[in-house]
Amino acid sequence: MQVYHKSKKCRICSSKNLELVLDLGIQPPANSFLKKVSSSEKKFPLRLFFCKDCFLLQLVDIVDKKLLFSHYLYLSSASKPILEHFSKYAFNVFNKFWKNKRKPLIIEIGSNDGSLLKEFKKLGANVLGVEPASNVSKIALKSNIPTINKFFTSKLASSLAKKGKPNVILANNVVGHIEDLNDFVLGIKNLLDDDGIFVFEVPYVLDLLKKTEFDTIYHEHLSYFSLLALTKLFKKFELEIFDIQRQSVHGGTLRIFVAKKERKKIKSKVIKMINFEKEYGISKIRTYKQFGKKVLILRNSLQKKIKQLKQEGKMIYGYGAPAKGNVLLNFCQIDNKMINFIIDTTPLKQNLLTPGTHIPIKSPTKVIQKGAGDIFLLLAWNYKKDILKKEKRFRKRGGKFLIPLPNPRII
Ligand code: TYD
């Protein structure tokens, strides 16, 4: 199996007009937590490129999807705020389109442990998940969410379509994972009922750029979407974006509603957002070069801050072991000499080591023993509000948090 290759052309428009905007060095895959330190730990280049023809921001360093996704340690159910987001998500989509109508069929691509489908099922929908990770799809099956343990392709879509076309296809934080985007969208087009909708969420490139969320760039995330780039992709398959909603999860997400051409009225806010992207400079290389510079400044200032805290004799721990945390730690060279351990609520991650930096991950009960003089580097910064609320007592005892983005600061 070839585990790594470098792609030479744009994932949407096949152009070779790609320019480097940020080099994050040689990094292990961000979710490849280790049982023990190993000399054969796999690391690959991690570089961000911009397509000057269709404006897609993307990686060219491709790690084999089987290596990344066949056994997966991220569980939606481990983050309470995500479960709350899913519950509102299902309610919103279901009531908008299917209230008082017959039971819709909903297929989710990358359905993880079935957390989102569970919410649709509660509302009365027929559901089916497609999930490539065998360990995670088993968890979904155990909680009675029918799940096919496969990667979604146009071939799988054609065989699913024979059994019944879904009214809704969902894909949450998965479209950015897809290497062959054209095959993926072809599959959506062929599978979806003619009056159906494709609803998906992706981290929004505007949030990435504005808030310097560089650590969300990792091998799993091959594309960083703008509406400008997505519109070009869907147009090729006679699909249209007819509605959008901005969401706060994962540092800023765009929920996108897609239908077959001329089936739904396109909302004016879609056009407004596209115009805003143009004004912001989403189609200009200089916007991305500026972002690249800001990332280097951020790294310097975080490294300085940590060095200073260590000189003052402070103890630093990590809060949360998200994939993005591993990018931040590796890129800023913050390892187990600076961070004693990390706490994380995901049982599958506990007692493992972070990839590249080899910091032990422990269960969150440890935080109860900490207070004055202790600092948690908030690696799961996307849950800042919830975590600060949850750790009120630690903060009352004099404990502090180091927030890494967009500018490192202690609170
Ligand atoms: P998340 O930011 O959702 O994802 P990604 O891996 O894509 O960057 O991951 C958040 C991690 O933080 C996850 O491993 C669970 C953990 N976590 C905690 O440890 N405590 C908490 O209170 C919350 C909300 C999350």
Q: How many angstroms is it from 79 CA to the middle of ligand 1?
A: 6
Protein residue whose Cα sits closest to atom 9 of ligand 1: 322
Residue 353 per-residue DSSP state: B
For ligand 1, is residue 320 a contact (CB within 6 Å)? yes
Q: How many angstroms is it from 267 CA to the middle of ligand 1?
A: 34
Give the number of the atom of ligand 1 that is nearest the alpha carbon of residue 173.
7
For ligand 1, is residue 108 a contact (CB within 6 Å)? no
- Read off the pLDDT of each residue in 286-296 and give the average, rounded to a whole number: 98
Q: What is the mean pLDDT of the chain?
A: 96
Tally Cβ neighbours within 10 Å of residue 19.
12
Q: pLDDT tens, 26-36?
A: 999 999 999 99
pLDDT of residue 282: 98
Return the sign of the alpha-carbon dihedral for residues 344, 82, 178, 278: negative
pLDDT of residue 372: 85
In degrees and rounded to multiples of 5, residue 26 shows phi and psi of: -95, 120
Query: If pLDDT is split at 50, 70 and 90, which confidence band does 13 have?
Result: very high
Q: pLDDT tens, 302-348?
A: 999 999 999 999 999 999 999 999 999 999 999 999 999 999 999 99
pLDDT over 80 at 102, yes or no:
no
For ligand 1, is residue 181 a contact (CB within 6 Å)? no
Q: Is the peptide bond before 45 cis (omega within 30 degrees of 0)?
A: no
Q: pLDDT tens, 174-199?
A: 999 999 999 999 999 999 999 999 99
Q: How many angstroms is it from 200 CA to the middle of ligand 1?
A: 20
pLDDT of residue 276: 98
Tally Cβ neighbours within 10 Å of residue 271.
11
Protein residue whose Cα sits closest to atom 22 of ligand 1: 387
Which residues lie below 8 Å from residue 287, measured CB to CB, with a gap of 6+? Answer: 209, 280, 281
For ligand 1, is residue 214 a contact (CB within 6 Å)? no
- Read off the pLDDT of each residue in 131-139 and give the average, rounded to a whole number: 97
Nearest to 32 by CA among 66, 79, 81, 58: 66
Q: Choose the residue to mutate in 82, 211, 217, 383 for probing ligand 1, maximizing ligand atoms within 8 Å of C-beta.
A: 383
In degrees and rounded to multiples of 5, residue 352 shows phi and psi of: -105, 175
Q: pLDDT tens, 358-369?
A: 999 999 987 778
Q: pLDDT tens, 221-267?
A: 999 999 999 999 999 999 999 999 999 999 999 999 999 999 999 99
Phi-psi region of 373 (alpha: psi -120 to 50; beta: other; left: phi over 0): left
In degrees and rounded to multiples of 5, residue 396 shows phi and psi of: -65, -30
Q: Which two tokens stand for residue 60?
A: 């060219």
Q: How many angstroms is it from 322 CA to the middle of ligand 1?
A: 5
Q: Choose the residue to mutate in 112, 207, 219, 344 for probing ligand 1, maximizing ligand atoms within 8 Å of C-beta.
A: 344
- Angstrom CA distances, 232 to 113, 168, 229, 241, 379, stand at 32, 22, 5, 10, 34
Query: If pLDDT is split at 50, 70 and 90, which confidence band does 95 have?
Result: confident
Contact in structure between 358 and 378 (CB atoms under 8 Å): no
Which residues lie below 8 Å from residue 353, measured CB to CB, with a gap of 6+? Answer: 33, 34, 35, 36, 37, 359, 360, 361
pLDDT of residue 49: 98
pLDDT of residue 32: 96
Q: pLDDT tens, 366-392?
A: 777 888 889 999 999 999 999 999 999
Which residues lie below 8 Å from residue 321, measured CB to CB, with a gap of 6+? Answer: 33, 342, 344, 346, 349, 354, 361, 379, 380
The CA angle 168-116-377, to the nearest 5 degrees, is 135
For ligand 1, is residue 354 a contact (CB within 6 Å)? no
pLDDT of residue 404: 98
The CA angle 130-178-127, to the nearest 5 degrees, is 20
Residue 267 per-residue DSSP state: P
pLDDT of residue 143: 96
The CA angle 268-271-274, to the nearest 5 degrees, is 150
Residues β-bridged to residue 129 = 108, 147
Residue 266 per-residue DSSP state: P
How many angstroms separate the CA atoms of 287 and 243, rounded? 26
pLDDT of residue 306: 97
Contact in structure between 299 and 273 (CB atoms under 8 Å): no
Q: How many angstroms is it from 184 CA to the middle of ligand 1?
A: 28
- Angstrom CA distances, 40 to 1, 80, 104, 265, stand at 16, 35, 48, 54
For ligand 1, is residue 326 a contact (CB within 6 Å)? no
How many angstroms separate the CA atoms of 196 and 260, rounded? 8
Q: Choose the residue to mutate in 345, 350, 351 for probing ligand 1, maximizing ligand atoms within 8 Å of C-beta.
A: 345
pLDDT of residue 100: 64
- Read off the pLDDT of each residue in 163-179 and give the average, rounded to a whole number: 97
pTM assigned to the model: 0.95
For ligand 1, is residue 53 a contact (CB within 6 Å)? no
Which residues lie below 8 Å from residue 187, measured CB to CB, with a gap of 6+? Answer: 152, 153, 154, 155, 156, 157, 158
Which residues lie below 8 Å from residue 340, measured CB to CB, with a gap of 6+? Answer: 315, 316, 317, 359
pLDDT over 90 at 1, yes or no:
no
Q: Which two tokens stand for residue 110?
A: 């990358």
